[in-house]
Amino acid sequence: MCELLGMSANVPTDICFSFTGFLHRGGGTGPHKDGWGIAFYEAGGYRDFRDPHPSVNSPIARLICEYPIKSHIVISHIRQANVGQVRLANTHPFTREMWGRPWCYAHNGQLSDWQELPLDYYRPIGDTDSEHAFCWLMGEMRRAFPQPPEDCQAAWQLLHQLCERLRGLGVFNLLLSDGEYLYTYCSTKLAHITRRAPFGEANLSDAELSVNFAEHTTPNDVVSVVATEPLTDNEDWFCLEPGELLVWRNGEIHGCFKTKV
């Protein structure tokens, strides 16, 4: 399956270290050779880079590693195709507008009967189950909240319910953001780590690279990273529970929703 990488931070932060390890899984240490993409939210703006070729030897991926784009929120994806051709239109992350904001989405997993999800306002450009599910999810959110909701909790609860429905169709691990919050939903596998003072050294699992974060941060920095699999081998990562939605802002968890037993 595909793999996901996300970041939420309280200060503009580059993701070069984590992305260096992540891109090696795209055709190097992992089989995810069918494209990759990364999106950045920066000071009210948004930009992304997508490439249908393996990230491990992509010149665009090397540019990202060498050009430290500083952002509060990052979403990245490496693809192992199972539905849809290997082409740019099917390369994550996908983006749609809602409430005057660019919403970015990446999905890990495979869904059944996804063509039966009714679409209203949004339509896919490619032919993947992932993008179809994104269009359905965004359409349901927009139908329930035509305007930005005054009660964030109500919108978050609905998002969790929609993710639960998609999990009922198969494997649905999600990264989603509107530029203010990062939403992470676990169907089968997703892990996270929050780095704050006192910062220490981290070693990548997929590349020979270490960094001492104390040399690149201030005591007030908070940076959280979410990935399908832990990216470092000397830090304690925490696994989300199946059916758990976490809402992140400025590196901290602002909401947690779990499957009711």
Q: Which residue has the higher pLDDT, 234 or 158?
A: 158
Name beta bridge partners: 212. 201
- What pLDDT is recorded for position 27? 54
Say if residues 105 and 162 touch (Cβ distance below 8 Å). no
- What pLDDT is recorded for position 88? 85
36: exposed, middle or buried (C-beta count within 10 Å: 0-12, 13-18, 19+)?
buried
Find how far residue 230's CA is from the centre of its chain. Answer: 14
With vertex at residue 185, the alpha carbon angle to CA 183 and CA 186, rounded to the nearest 5 degrees, is 155
Tens digit of pLDDT for each residue in 97-146? 999 999 999 999 999 999 999 999 999 999 999 999 999 999 999 999 99
Domains plus CATH for the chain?
Answer: 3-257 (3.60.20.10)
Catalytic site residue from 2, 104, 163, 186: 2
Average pLDDT rounded to a whole number, residues 71-92: 79
Beta strands 201-203; 244-249: pairing state: unpaired
Residues 6+ apart with CB under 8 A from 148: 99
Q: Which segment of 32-36, 122-126, 209-213, 233-237 scores lowest on mean pLDDT?
A: 32-36
Distance CA 46, CA 175 (A): 16
Distance CA 142, CA 246 (A): 20
- What pLDDT is recorded for position 66? 82
Tens digit of pLDDT for each residue in 158-202? 999 999 999 999 999 999 999 999 999 999 999 999 999 998 888
Q: Among this protein's residues, is 2 annotated catalytic?
A: yes
225 membership: H or E segment, kind and range = strand 222-227
Q: Which residue has the higher pLDDT, 145 or 26?
A: 145
Q: Which residue has the higher pLDDT, 57 or 249?
A: 249
pLDDT above 60: residue 206: yes
